[in-house]
Structure 1
Amino acid sequence: MRVFLSVLLLLLPALCFGQAAKQNDNQITIGTKETLHSTILKEDREIWVYVPKSSDVHTRYPVMYLLDGKDFFHSVTGMVDEMSSVGKMPKMIVVGILSKDRGSELTPTPSKFSRDGMVDPDFKNSGRGEKFISFIQKELMPFVESRYRTAPYRMFVGHSLGGLTVLHALVNHPALFNSYVAIDPSVWWNGHLITKQAQKAFSQKEYANKNLYYAASNTMEKGMDTVRVIKDTVYANGNVRNHFQFRDILRKSKNLVWTWKYYPEDNHSSVPLPAGYDALRFLFKKYELDKNLNDPTITVEYIKDHYKAVSAMMQYPVLPSAGTVNALGYISLGNKRYDKAYQFFKLNLDNYPADGNLHDSMGDYYVAIGDKKKAMEAFRKALSLEEVAETRRKLKQLEAGQ
């Protein structure tokens, strides 16, 4: 039963939706609220943290730092949970950073003016973005990395002024994150300063192993199209025009892996949801196996080679998924390809020797080939690591038949 459920959950991933949620009576919890004191900002800051559900206490996860966390935490963690459960991307920790004064901390330079050129009271304290980035780098990241099992991969995601902050980090602090997601960023800020900075930075700086997803929404007047908008001068069409201009600058970047996408059916408020999904698909497009698990051509070498490529993409060593390899072992076992089954089970044990379930799986292999002695050894090893009723039952059955 234990094995059956493991394989079933892998092969029918739709059943895994919501695995990160922890149910307690009538409440469902998807994250944890944390508070840290910032010496740099001279105040307490609240963050929301989502951690993937996993029985492996040794697993470390890449981290997404999400601006305007209160607004986007639920939708983004839901996407991350679902997409990782079906193998489209790695499981990730999501850190939602709650805003206190967006006009202050999400603007990199001082300016009193909105896009329309009018003085805006929301920007009376603008220009503290550098201090905010310093808080993330010197206080928030160490806080997260000291409390959670983090891997050395960081993603930065922001919308609107948050998207401006993401671009500011990419242009001025490219080493801080591995990937950047700017959703309808406010590139108009302070006389399009970020566009001017990007034009210089992209032509001079090396952006190898850095990734950007840039999303632009449709805020044009009705009847306007994307061909005419580039030469248009109407104020209402300025945002879309600005995004196309930034795309032209991206084309001159050095080794930056990027994509730019326009969403004709979405406005500034609705674009974060589809853009967030598309960004994750783009950034992790090489993460998923390109073969169905039932494909008989899948070998241990194929799995190893795939995860070498994944490791290169993530820029740290990534072991093959224990669940995927275990499923391949049972598929081979069911097809009576015993040598192949053994190779998959052995690969898992080499990578995760302290996982009792994988020793249990090897026990099933030995039962299938009729080696009761080794099967009992495997089940005993599994039980020494974790007491599981189904494993105990199988061991007793073998002992009774001796």
Structure 2
Amino acid sequence: MKRLFFLFILSALFCFEIGEAQQQNNIEHSLQSSVFNKERRVRVHLPDRYFRDSTTTYPVVYVLDAQSNSFWNIAKGNIGYLANNYAIMPMIVVGIVSDNRGSDFNPPATNLQNHFRNEVFPLIEKNYRTDGYRAIIGHSWGGAFVGTTLFSENNDLFDGYIGISPSFGDEDNIIIKDAARMLKNGESFKKYLYFSNGDVGRREKEFEGYVKDIDSLLKVYPNKTLVYQPRLIERVDHWQIVGPSFCDGLISLSRNYFADQKVMEDLAKNTELDLKTQIKNFNATTKEKFGYVHKASSGYLNFVANDFRDMDDYKTALVIYGLALEKSPKDVKVYVNMFDLYDKMGDHKTAKPMLVSTIALLKEQKENVSEAYYRDVLKWLQEKLEGYN
């Protein structure tokens, strides 16, 4: 019974505590836009972990159509859930409120592009801890803004582009023409692009054509600097596609910049090169390819290592715990889990001195962990020490 209780405690180590800081997650800014010559609103949602320290910086994902409360709630809900559960890079979510979607989003969309560059980015980067990475998500006409911005002289605005069921339906087909011109000229993008479409209803049959047009152009003019991941999401229409695309698009985008658990599982299958070296190579290659890489935090590495440990892949777990300690040499939660691993392995020679060190470290860091964690884990560790003696 005690063992089951401790397993429950361990499984809860990475759940985020709900505190007063959570009330600060959602902020709304109003600014007088000289670009639009009127007031514009910008909505911000901060990840839960944003309040746990004052130094960590974050990538930012900008979401169009935040004037729709339901759409904004889908955006911040999906992104927040994924980020808080270690499924994607942790991100600050910024919602752009528009009162005229057509003129804002459709080509050439220079007003909105200038609004981002001259007004929104300075606002966000002045008030929040950002790391320089920016992604954009747009649905339908918002997808047109994604396409027209990527295939323009303003494509430096964002690093990652996600278009959900993109509506490129201008009479001159200018987005496809601009894409063809830039791809033919061998543009160096260093960007990520995700387009999704469904297969139900008139709109999705039309918008599928735009996604396929980009795919065809990239086959004619291959470009290694543009990572393109189109996705057909079956059995959904123009509105049903939004939820699945947020999750799939963000996971796909994140995995290109971040050695997440799936990436580590794949790398671990290569036994010809040690995992630590492979992860470092992944980070170096990603940095060279995109100019940006998101390196896993100690907390994330600890989380992943626990999974490998619980799947009895002790060798891989040890490597990842080691990487976590490189990030945070005195992370007591990593020490607790490493001790548990050595104990499971039956390596008592290594486990006992680590157990003693872990108890001392936990007492030293009593003020840095919750009262329940300190009480329950210390009791378990002391019982284990008695058993070793």
TM-score by length of 2: 0.72
Match of 2:296 among 296, 309, 319: 319
Distance 1:106 1:365 in 2: 53
Classify 1:163/1:327 alpha carbon distance in 2 versus 1 (closer, same or farther; 3 Å): closer
Distance 1:195 1:297 in 2: 40
Distance 1:375 1:45 in 2: 53
The amino acid of 2:43's aligned partner reads: W
Distance 1:375 1:221 in 2: 62
Distance 2:309 2:202 in 1: 58
Tell me the CA shift for residue 190 of structure 1: 4.4
3-state SS of 1:284 partner: helix
Specify every segment of 5 or more residues in structure 2 that has no aligned partner in the other structure, as ranges.
none
**RMSD, aligned CA:** 4.6
The amino acid of 2:144's aligned partner reads: L
| Residue 8 (structure 1) aligned with residue 11 (structure 2) | yes
Match of 1:50 among 22, 45, 49: 45
Task: Compare 339-348 and 163-172 and name the one that shifted more.
Answer: 339-348
Distance 2:297 2:284 in 1: 10
Tell me the CA shift for residue 51 of structure 1: 1.7
| Residue 68 (structure 1) aligned with residue 55 (structure 2) | no
Distance 1:384 1:249 in 2: 58
Q: Which has the larger radius of gyration?
A: 1
Match of 1:309 among 272, 275, 282: 282
Alignment of 1:198-347 (within 5 A): 198-218=179-199, 239-251=207-219, 252-255=221-224, 256-263=226-233, 265-285=235-255, 287-290=259-262, 302-303=275-276, 305-306=278-279, 308-310=281-283, 312-313=285-286, 315-316=292-293, 318-325=295-302, 328=305, 347=323
Kept in 2, the 8 Å contact 1:363–1:374? The answer is: no
**Structure 2 match to 1:121:** none
After superposition, what is the alpha-carbon deviation per residue over 1:238-274, rounded to whole angstroms, capped at 9, x for unaligned? 5554544343224325222113334453333332222
Kept in 2, the 8 Å contact 1:69–1:98? The answer is: yes
| Residue 83 (structure 1) aligned with residue 118 (structure 2) | no
Kept in 1, the 8 Å contact 2:211–2:230? The answer is: no
Kept in 2, the 8 Å contact 1:360–1:391? The answer is: no
Match of 1:168 among 148, 160, 179: 148
Tell me the CA shift for residue 35 of structure 1: 2.6
Distance 2:246 2:310 in 1: 39
Tell me the CA shift for residue 221 of structure 1: 5.7
Distance 2:302 2:155 in 1: 36
Tell me the CA shift for residue 182 of structure 1: 1.5
Higher share of residues assigned helix: 2
Kept in 2, the 8 Å contact 1:364–1:375? The answer is: no
3-state SS of 1:88 partner: coil
TM-score by length of 1: 0.70
Tell me the CA shift for residue 140 of structure 1: 1.2
Distance 2:215 2:206 in 1: 14
Distance 1:370 1:264 in 2: 54
| Residue 149 (structure 1) aligned with residue 129 (structure 2) | yes
Task: Compare 132-141 and 71-80 and name the one that shifted more.
Answer: 71-80
Tell me the CA shift for residue 377 of structure 1: 4.2
Specify every segment of 5 or more residues in structure 1 that has no aligned partner in the other structure, as ranges.
110-128, 227-236
Kept in 1, the 8 Å contact 2:261–2:304? The answer is: no
3-state SS of 1:69 partner: coil
Tell me the CA shift for residue 169 of structure 1: 1.1
Kept in 1, the 8 Å contact 2:43–2:94? The answer is: yes
Match of 1:382 among 360, 365, 372: 365
Tell me the CA shift for residue 277 of structure 1: 2.5
Classify 1:141/1:289 alpha carbon distance in 2 versus 1 (closer, same or farther; 3 Å): same
3-state SS of 2:155 partner: coil
The aligned length equals 359
Tell me the CA shift for residue 155 of structure 1: 1.0
Task: Compare 158-167 and 377-386 and name the one that shifted more.
Answer: 377-386
